[in-house]
Amino acid sequence: MNETTDSLLINSDKPSRKSRLFESGHMKLLVLFLIEQAPRYGYEIIKSIGELVGGGYSPSTGTIYPTLSYLEDMQFVSIEKPDGDRKQYKITVTGINHLNGQREHLEHILGRLETRREIQNNDQYLDIYRAMGNLKTSLRLKLKNNALTEETIHQIAKSIDQAAVDISCLKNEVVR
């Protein structure tokens, strides 16, 4: 291996948990961003996030409405009722200032979601999805066996690390 491929390997004594779609605070920023674009009802926010994320994802009302309550408590949004009882959320000056201070972080979140959508909508990647599913399944089955030796654990980790290096070394060919 060389310096480039060595840098792709993550050397950690402590395994990390699978990353969630939205880390702490990301949903709040995303909701505030959507409200900044135009005042919205809760249901519209749920639909808009589903469209941004893609892949059939839809946040639950149990996620969105507490987020909206938090944003209101922080005075980042205000509530209007233009057609009776339904609450429409509108960004405040405080909310705009907060969002502007988090713009770089927001752009990172939006970029990640765009990449996720592009991958999900590209039929070329079906073989990769299938292969990743096979890898996950084989790992789950192997890890269910609590009697794995230390040697087997190291062999599994080495195989996955090597696959990561091999993938990173593949040449990108432009399809025209």
Low-confidence ranges of the chain (pLDDT < 50): 1-19
What pLDDT is stored for residue 93 in this prediction?
Answer: 98
- Taking the model in full, what pTM does it have? 0.62
pLDDT number for residue 155: 93
Contact 22, 15 (CB under 8 A): no
For residue 65, with 0-12 CB atoms within 10 Å meaning exposed, 13-18 middle and 19 or more buried, which class applies? middle
Q: E strands of the chain, at which residues?
A: 40-41, 77-80, 88-91
Report which residue type is found at 11. Answer: N
Q: Give the separation between CA 20 and CA 129, rounded to whole angstroms.
A: 18
Residues 6 or more apart whose CB falls under 8 angstroms from that of 146 comprise none
